[in-house]
Copies of this chain bind each other. A is one copy, B any other.
């Protein structure tokens, strides 16, 4: 198996009057965690993009990854995901290609349609346009990467005339595209597009295994060889010291999920995506968490591996201690390459 990091950094606006807040601290800790993760044998990172949260999630993910790229050498730099409806697709392709070029081809270009109501509302983009904006943006982005001669595009949301987009990416014809999916239909669409598949940290293990099996079948049906590294499964990990520590971590996970649900919901509307039953939300949070002792965590990862999962991106909640303990106590039994021993020499 291979492991990466997944999640966000946090840079909150200082409270007015509190001159002592260093808003950069969360970003710098995230950078240092990832630098250490590279040394410990983690394969790369996927970082979110979110806007207007009020608690400082990463908004300019390609910029944060660019800083990290300059501080690392082999580590993959991934977005999970760039939310296309608010980006000018040509500017985004230029930014992505710049990072890919500078980093020697380390960008994993994860994209999504967006799901948070507060972001669509903030950008004054109707949620109903998410799908058509996504499709059109990917058409323009793909052309931007692959076209060595000028092209034009006159679509519903974007217009360009006779452009050649620079710089070129290092990975040709373009960086790998990664896309999330959570249903049979959406998994099939990812396979049809020829993209790699991202599965979410709140997807139950049985659903993950079902989606991976389906993706493999869909990919092979289309005559493409299935590579298990083209499926990334996000998981939250916490190595618990004792029962109280475990309970506290599960409670933090539940509260964090509820907070995200709250800013994501459209006021007055019930959407399938958001589970309104608190008990049910708590059950999903608990069941999908890889929280416990190293042995308990390794067993759950082994179950995923047995079902064809080879690449797990881990949300450690920003804990350097958990990154280190996972690398020392969990990874060696699963990767077959005890990189920690080398890195610690």
Contacts and interface: CB of A to CB of B under 8 A. Distances in A.
A60 B98 contact: yes
Contact of A67 (B11, B70, B148): B70
Interface in A1-49: 11-14, 16, 23-24, 27-28, 31
A63 interface: yes
A13 B148 contact: yes
Interface string A108-139: 00000000000001111000000000000000
A64 B166 CA distance: 13
A342 interface: no
Given A60-B98, A88-B88, A166 B53 contact: yes
How many chain copies? 2
Nearest to A54: B164
A292 interface: no
A284 interface: no
A167 interface: yes
Contact of A124 (B12, B13, B64, B161): B161
B94 A24 contact: no
B164 A64 contact: no
A59 B94 contact: yes
Interface string A168-192: 1010000000000000000000000
Nearest to A99: B63
A13 B173 CA distance: 12
B69 A67 contact: yes
Given A67-B102, A87-B91, A52 B166 contact: yes
A165 interface: yes
Given A16-B148, A27-B102, A60-B98, A122 B167 contact: no
Contacts of A91: 59-60, 86-87
A226 interface: no
B24 A102 contact: yes
A308 to B, nearest CB: 35
Task: Identify the interface centre among A52, A162, A164: most chain B CB within 10 Å of its CB.
Answer: A52
A298 interface: no
A59 to B, nearest CB: 4
A252 interface: no
A90 B86 CA distance: 10
Contacts of A69: 67, 70
A60 B90 CA distance: 10
A56 interface: yes
A229 to B, nearest CB: 24
B70 A166 contact: no
A265 to B, nearest CB: 15
A28 B101 CA distance: 9
A162 to B, nearest CB: 7
A170 B24 contact: yes
A95 B167 contact: no
Interface of A: 11-14, 16, 23-24, 27-28, 31, 51-54, 56-60, 62-64, 66-71, 86-88, 90-91, 94-95, 97-99, 101-102, 104, 121-124, 148, 150, 159-168, 170
6 contacts: A23-B168, A56-B166, A60-B94, A62-B63, A67-B69, A122-B161
